[in-house]
Chains A and B, each alone.
Chain A
Amino acid sequence: MAPAQRRGVAGVTLMAGDTAFRTDQLWRRVAVAAPYLWLLVFFLAPFAIILKISLADPIIAQPPFTQTFDAEGDFAGSADNFRFLLTDKLYAVTYLRSVVMAAAATILCLALGFPMAYGIARSDATTRSLLLLLIVLPFWISFLLRVYAWMGLMNNYGVINNLLMWIGIIEQPIQLMYTDFAIFVGLAYSYLPFMILPLYATLERMDLDLIEAAQDLGASRTRAFWDITWPLARPGIIAGCLLVFIPAMGEYVIPYLLGGPEALLIGRVLFDEFFVNRDWPLASAVAIVLLLLLVVPIVLLQRNQAKREEPAT
């Protein structure tokens, strides 16, 4: 009697535990699936559409491109657009200019952002939150307005030129606006917070004992920085660089407002192909190539990172 009862009780608890376990599993799956679903709907699906358009031909119609598959469902597209991208030197030059410009802005952001992030991470708690607030504060103002503000600063008779002339360093205003330099400054300014925040996150977590240990073992302050701080900040450096480089690469507004008419960057070409030339298929091809240009180095970087974190055996 008693053992049977006990078995019954045990059975019940086991079942209850089982269902709890199952709902637990279900929720876990939902949680994991959610970001994938998001990526599928808002990234992969649009990407497929763009890819499809890039294989079509432009026509004057609504929508302004031919069908990639004909009435029988056979493939009717072509890689003509991509071939054109490869043959017309303009595109290669534009891509290259964009890479160089984005890379330069990234390096400037790193050079400015690292000491700033380092300083914030090492300051005491109250100043730290104030400094972080100051870094994020520009986001309260529209991005467009902030870029316009740079126009006011860099005009021929803007703040910078007036100041330099007043001091007497220059006699004639120097051309700042509508140059590559202006784009460069605009990019670095706009994306600096995206460099500082991930850098700050890694530097703030770092154990200060490690630097003292390195110094104790014979490393000078500078040596300890390069041996310990820099490699341990790597994840933050990589994250920051990607967060700056990727959007800087496709940036449209900054080159449009601050750069000259001849300052062709890929974001601008993309915009023009879509909205000025109404050549959707070619624009799509430009976008696909841009994406590949960005994705390939990231994949390589991540593989490198994974290899680094693998245990040495």
Chain B
Amino acid sequence: MKDFIRIRGISKYFGDFAAVDDVSLDIAKGELFSILGGSGCGKTTLLRILAGFELPTKGTVEIDGVDVTNQPPYQRPVNMMFQSYAIFPHMSVAKNVAYGLQKEGVARTDIEKRVDQALDLVQLRDFAKRKPDQLSGGQRQRVALARAIIKRPKVLLLDEPLAALDKKLRERTQFELMNIQDELGITFVVVTHDQEEAMTLSTRIAVMEQGRFLQIGTPLEIYEYPRNRFVADFIGTINTFDGTVQQIDENTLVIDSEEAGTTITALGRHDVVVGQKVCVAVRPEKIFVGKDEPDNSEDTRVRGVVHDLGYLGNLSLYRIKLVNDNIVLVSSQNRRRSASRFLEWEDEVWISWRPRSVAVLLE
């Protein structure tokens, strides 16, 4: 697929501080792309560069084959939904939504028709004449969305689109956003600090930290194959063990880890050498826990005791204390219904995981 948005070597300095540091990125048409990172990682600055509110210190931005790097915001085929929603308080809902078309000089009758359509899309038709201060948070969010899509931009930028909503509403709105994106075929670029939001919404995610991308990939790639410790830590929870490569075979990699108190078997790879320091990461849900010693010899096995447990209904979370006092997080599905807990505090247990569940991080 042809790259629709091409970001090439973008840097943005504020004084000496590089908010965005030599970032390149291609986004395809129709993607729902998320830029994920903590506060101050540069994600909002990058979004503002795409919108035209900030000029990059270096680099270029192309949208649909046109270099827009130096175009002012009002000339770009891009619209933005602000985190604060930025709804004009002195205009009715309909006037807010119509604003973009008015500035474009669209005929009055057309404006009315398209405003109605947009309000239908976000289910706010009955609220057209309301003033913004008479709307709930969720309604304001949808006004902001309707206003941002009415010009049918090539790219829609969304700055923390769901951050201001409560949990229930956030979940519903997530799917609404995806449906709308699907219906309109607009390329969405979302900036968020919420990994769950990024995971459910996006076709691809870029994890950003200190002005750079640490990893770009599908939610699955980012979650299952994190490239470094930061990404692994940032998305979901993960157990990490430092270790040294002990043995490299055709299909397996054996890592000696003092932290885990054992040797860990991982799938073979060729970009490591014996003696190299690596970090082994295993997700809690990939670890089996039980009272009996597992018999599969390939699996990594460690003994421990149940240090803490949490019953969440669908899941149980365990904190298993190893012999060397390190804590390993394990989560397991409560598949069977039972009146008593499967494991209790201070139970002696075995934990184990498969070689292919292990992510080997080189950095």
Q: Does B104 contact A (CB under 8 A)?
A: yes
Is A312's CB under 8 angstroms from B131's CB? yes
- Choice from A209, A216, A312 contacting B73 with Cβ under 8 Å: A216
Q: Please give, as numbers and ranges, the residues of chain B lying within 8 Å of A217 by CB-CB distance.
A: 74, 79, 99-100, 103, 147, 151
Cα distance A34–B326 in the bound complex, in angstroms: 68
Cα distance A185–B167 in the bound complex, in angstroms: 60
Cα distance A213–B53 in the bound complex, in angstroms: 10
Is B82's CB under 8 angstroms from A215's CB? no
Distance in Å: Cβ of A34 to nearest Cβ of chain B:
30
- Choice from B72, B78, B84, B129 contacting A209 with Cβ under 8 Å: B84
- Choice from A216, A220, A227, A312 contacting B51 with Cβ under 8 Å: A216
- Choice from A212, A220, A223 contacting B86 with Cβ under 8 Å: A212
Q: Does A63 contact B (CB under 8 A)?
A: no
Distance in Å: Cβ of B51 to nearest Cβ of chain A:
6
Q: Does B334 contact A (CB under 8 A)?
A: no
Is B86's CB under 8 angstroms from A213's CB? yes
Is A218's CB under 8 angstroms from B131's CB? no
Is B92's CB under 8 angstroms from A220's CB? no
Q: Does A88 contact B (CB under 8 A)?
A: no
Smallest Cβ-Cβ distance to A231: which chain B residue: B90
Q: Does A207 contact B (CB under 8 A)?
A: yes
Q: Please give, as numbers and ranges, the residues of chain B lying within 8 Å of A227 by CB-CB distance.
A: 99
Distance in Å: Cβ of A226 to nearest Cβ of chain B:
12
Is B99's CB under 8 angstroms from A313's CB? no
Q: Does A44 contact B (CB under 8 A)?
A: no
- Choice from B73, B130, B148 contacting A212 with Cβ under 8 Å: B73
Q: Does A219 contact B (CB under 8 A)?
A: yes
Smallest Cβ-Cβ distance to B95: which chain A residue: A312
Q: Please give, as numbers and ranges, the residues of chain B lying within 8 Å of A231 by CB-CB distance.
A: 90
Q: Does A39 contact B (CB under 8 A)?
A: no
Q: Please give, as numbers and ranges, the residues of chain A lying within 8 Å of B52 by CB-CB distance.
A: 216
Cα distance A218–B80 in the bound complex, in angstroms: 11
Q: Please give, as numbers and ranges, the residues of chain B lying within 8 Å of A232 by CB-CB distance.
A: 89-90
B41-85 near A? 1/0 per residue, CB < 8 Å: 000000000011100000000000000000011100011101010
Distance in Å: Cβ of B48 to nearest Cβ of chain A:
9
Residue among B52, B100, B103 with the highest chain A CB neighbour number at 10 A: B103
Q: Does A214 contact B (CB under 8 A)?
A: yes
Q: Please give, as numbers and ranges, the residues of chain A lying within 8 Å of B129 by CB-CB distance.
A: 312-313
Q: Does B333 contact A (CB under 8 A)?
A: no
Q: Does A210 contact B (CB under 8 A)?
A: yes
Given contacts A212-B73, A213-B80, A312-B92, contact A218 B151 (CB under 8 A): yes
Q: Which of B16-60 contact A (CB under 8 A)?
A: 51-53
Given contacts A209-B84, A228-B88, contact A216 B130 (CB under 8 A): no
Distance in Å: Cβ of A155 to nearest Cβ of chain B:
48
Q: Please give, as numbers and ranges, the residues of chain B lying within 8 Å of A207 by CB-CB distance.
A: 84, 86
Q: Please give, as numbers and ranges, the residues of chain B lying within 8 Å of A3 by CB-CB distance.
A: none
Distance in Å: Cβ of A209 to nearest Cβ of chain B:
4
- Choice from B51, B84, B103, B134 contacting A218 with Cβ under 8 Å: B103
Cα distance A213–B147 in the bound complex, in angstroms: 10
Cα distance A178–B186 in the bound complex, in angstroms: 68
User: Interface SS of chain A: helix, strand, loop or mixed?
Assistant: helix
Q: Does A311 contact B (CB under 8 A)?
A: yes
Q: Which of B100-124 contact A (CB under 8 A)?
A: 100, 103-104
Q: Which of A80-103 contact B (CB under 8 A)?
A: none
Given contacts A223-B103, A313-B129, contact A215 B86 (CB under 8 A): no
Distance in Å: Cβ of B332 to nearest Cβ of chain A:
45
Cα distance A214–B96 in the bound complex, in angstroms: 10
Cα distance A216–B147 in the bound complex, in angstroms: 11
Distance in Å: Cβ of A37 to nearest Cβ of chain B:
33
Smallest Cβ-Cβ distance to A206: which chain B residue: B89
Cα distance A15–B134 in the bound complex, in angstroms: 38
Cα distance A231–B147 in the bound complex, in angstroms: 20
Cα distance A251–B267 in the bound complex, in angstroms: 90
Q: Please give, as numbers and ranges, the residues of chain A lying within 8 Å of B73 by CB-CB distance.
A: 212, 215-216
Is B99's CB under 8 angstroms from A212's CB? no
Given contacts A232-B89, A312-B92, A312-B129, contact A216 B99 (CB under 8 A): no
Q: Please give, as numbers and ranges, the residues of chain B lying within 8 Å of A212 by CB-CB distance.
A: 51, 53, 73, 80, 82, 86
Cα distance A125–B311 in the bound complex, in angstroms: 50
Cα distance A214–B95 in the bound complex, in angstroms: 12
Distance in Å: Cβ of B356 to nearest Cβ of chain A:
47
Distance in Å: Cβ of A251 to nearest Cβ of chain B:
34
Cα distance A210–B103 in the bound complex, in angstroms: 15
Is B131's CB under 8 angstroms from A209's CB? no
Q: Please give, as numbers and ranges, the residues of chain A lying within 8 Å of B90 by CB-CB distance.
A: 231-232
Given contacts A212-B82, A212-B86, A218-B151, contact A311 B130 (CB under 8 A): yes
Q: Please give, as numbers and ranges, the residues of chain B lying within 8 Å of A228 by CB-CB distance.
A: 88
Q: Which of A101-134 contact B (CB under 8 A)?
A: none
- Choice from A213, A220, A223 contacting B88 with Cβ under 8 Å: A213
Smallest Cβ-Cβ distance to A218: which chain B residue: B103
Given contacts A210-B88, A232-B89, A311-B134, contact A219 B82 (CB under 8 A): no
A276-313 near B? 1/0 per residue, CB < 8 Å: 00000000000000000000000000000000000111
Is B86's CB under 8 angstroms from A218's CB? no
Cα distance A195–B78 in the bound complex, in angstroms: 39
Q: Please give, as numbers and ranges, the residues of chain B lying within 8 Å of A220 by CB-CB distance.
A: 72, 74
Q: Please give, as numbers and ranges, the residues of chain A lying within 8 Å of B92 by CB-CB distance.
A: 312
Beyond A217-B99, A312-B92, 10 additional contacts (C-beta under 8 Å) are A209-B82, A209-B86, A212-B51, A212-B80, A213-B80, A213-B86, A213-B88, A216-B73, A218-B100, A220-B74
Sampled A-B contacts (10; CB under 8 Å): A209-B84, A210-B88, A212-B73, A214-B88, A215-B72, A216-B53, A217-B103, A220-B74, A231-B90, A312-B92
Q: List residues of A whose CB falls within 8 A of some B CB.
A: 207, 209-210, 212-220, 223, 227-228, 231-232, 311-313
